[in-house]
Structure 1
Amino acid sequence: MWLMLVVWFAGAAAVLYSLYCWVIPSAVQYNGKLALLWHDVIVEHLLDTLTRTTRPQRLLRAVQKNATRNNPLSVISAIDDFCRHREWAMNVGDEKGFILDSVVNEVSPVTALELGAYCGYSAVRIARLLPPGACLITLEFNPDYAAIARQVIAWAGLEDKVQLVEGASGDWIPRMKEHFGIETFDFVFLDHWKDSYLPDTKLLEECGLLRKGTVLLADNVICPGAPDYLEYVRKSLSYESRFFKSHLEYTKAEDGLEKSVYLS
């Protein structure tokens, strides 16, 4: 009797383990909505409860354990490895990260703005490529995320190139010129709440923070999606827009980045 119970529990545990580690992750790889539901809701809440830590805290520990101080590439590699092999997280990711890198290298911005820092991954990718004397301002609404991002950026040795600001983008954008002495931005990376892409872009315009030639790069325009933003930049005579097809970070689900050059 006891032997049968042990065998039954062992079998059930093996099935659950297989479902958790391989079957479900493989099944949701090609569906963005299911992938987000599984990774960003179910798994994250489960691990938060079991470990009494947050995903950003676990990601930071992976950086501290596996990345070399003052080496941005090792920080990027440590986060990508964590997200591909241990726990998914909503960074721009390695595949789309190469597109981000190419655009930053093309623009070579002196003034750059990131909307949505999360844990600092994309800030590290951007800041490491900035020319001497350039600065990245990154905004993060969530103070817990901001605290982790500061430590990740510091581990990469990029504090001198990044100014991280806590608060809502709608509150900070009108204060950019006064607070930071910024006239206009050369490059803007949008990676925060998708329903804020369009109002924040219009606010950047209204505040005179975009100049002719400013490049806007928006992540996750397909998944979760920013249809109103896409319609605006693609139809507006003020922008020349191009779509870069890719995949939702660390999955095979369809996604992409929209690069929009401000014309007037």
Structure 2
Amino acid sequence: MLGCLHCTGGAALLYALYRWVIPAAVQYHGGLALLWHDIIVERMLDTLTQSTRPQRLLGAVQKNATRGDPRSVVKAIDEFCRHKEWAMNVGDEKGCILDSVVSELNPATVLELGTYCGYSTVRIASLLPPHAKLITLEFNPDYAKIACQVIAWAGLEDKIQLVEGSSAEWIPKMKEHFGVKMLDLVFMDHWKDDYLPDTKLLEDCGLLRKGSVLLADNVICPGSPDYLKYVRRSPRYKSQYFRSHLEYTKAEDGLEKSVFLG
């Protein structure tokens, strides 16, 4: 009997550590939050459920979001990530900054680098004017498959062109393959080491016009210091930092908005 009580008490302690104590302890430290949520917890749940985080996120959308309602899809993902399982979307707090930039710019042609599960894709597309074009690139085919289903659930498949492959491969093909002359907005949320080389590639390919906006996520955590140094010091950009927090935590992070001056 005593042994059973010890087992029950131990299980309760482990659950409390997993569910509340450790998440609270890492809330204010971006590196620890990423280690806990994006490596330890994700791998553990993948093993226990024999599924992937994107699959579980899609399940939450299909269960809780109204088909054809983009904002309910965004809300369902935010609820899942805040109360069930963290995921590295741009998130609700920084998502409002993204929304304001899109609404202010009212872009006709948008390129998103890094689709993941389609969260920011849905946010952007839901705010675009009629006949606007959103091209989103995703390197991971498993993520792309989930994102297609999330986008379809939001009813936005007609406004979005999702392309599998690397940014280095597809950026030079933008004009020829998609008929893109210039990009009004580029949202960068892929590998942080690719921010700077992809920016230079966009310049070299003539895809940026005077007034084109680059909006980069996670510039503090995980961070992209070489990119920040470039856009803040280059006379070709006017750059502004929007201080916020790493998605679904209290750790500092932010978005960098850089207007191309020509």
Match of 1:71 in 2: 69
Identity of aligned residues (%): 75
Q: Matches of 2:221 and 2:110 in 1, distance apart? A: 24
Distance 1:90 1:148 in 2: 15
Q: CA deviation at 1:231?
A: 0.2
Q: 2:226 & 2:212 partners in 1: Cα distance?
A: 20
Equivalent residue runs for 1:14-163 within 5 Å: 14-163=12-161
Report the equivalent of 2:178: 180
Letter in 2 for 1:5: G
Residue 207 of structure 1 is matched in structure 2 by 205
CA deviations on 1:68-118 (whole Å, 9 max, x unpaired) are 000000000000000000000000000000000000001100000000000
TM-score if structure 2 supplies the norm length?
1.00
SS in 1 for 2:155: coil
Structure 2's unaligned 5+ residue stretches are none
Structure 1: 4+ residue segments shifted above 3 A: none
Task: Please give the alpha-carbon distance, in whole angstroms, between the structure 1 residues aligned to 2:20 and 2:77.
Answer: 21
Please give the secondary structure, in 2, of the residue aligned with 1:241.
strand
Aligned length: 262
Match of 1:220 in 2: 218
Structure 1 unaligned segments of length 5 or more: list them: none
| Equivalent residue, structure 2, for 1:11 | 9
SS in 1 for 2:120: helix
Please give the alpha-carbon distance, in whole angstroms, between the structure 1 residues aligned to 2:12 and 2:190. 38
Which residue of 256, 259, 262 maps to 2:260?
262
TM-score (norm 1): 0.99
Instruction: Return the alpha-carbon distance in structure 2 between the equivalents of residues 162 and 238 of structure 1.
Output: 29
State the 1:12 CA deviation: 0.5
CA distance in 1, matches of 2:180, 2:12: 57
Paired with 2:116 and 2:53, the residues of 1 have a C-alpha distance of 11
- Determine helix, strand or coil for the equivalent of 2:68: coil
Q: Distance in 2 between matches of 1:133 and 1:252?
A: 38
CA distance in 1, matches of 2:2, 2:63: 42
**SS of corresponding position for 1:123:** helix
SS in 2 for 1:260: strand
2:231 aligned counterpart, secondary structure: helix
Q: Which amino acid aligns with 2:67?
A: R
**SS of the residue 1:89 aligns to:** coil
**DSSP-derived class of the 2:173 partner:** helix
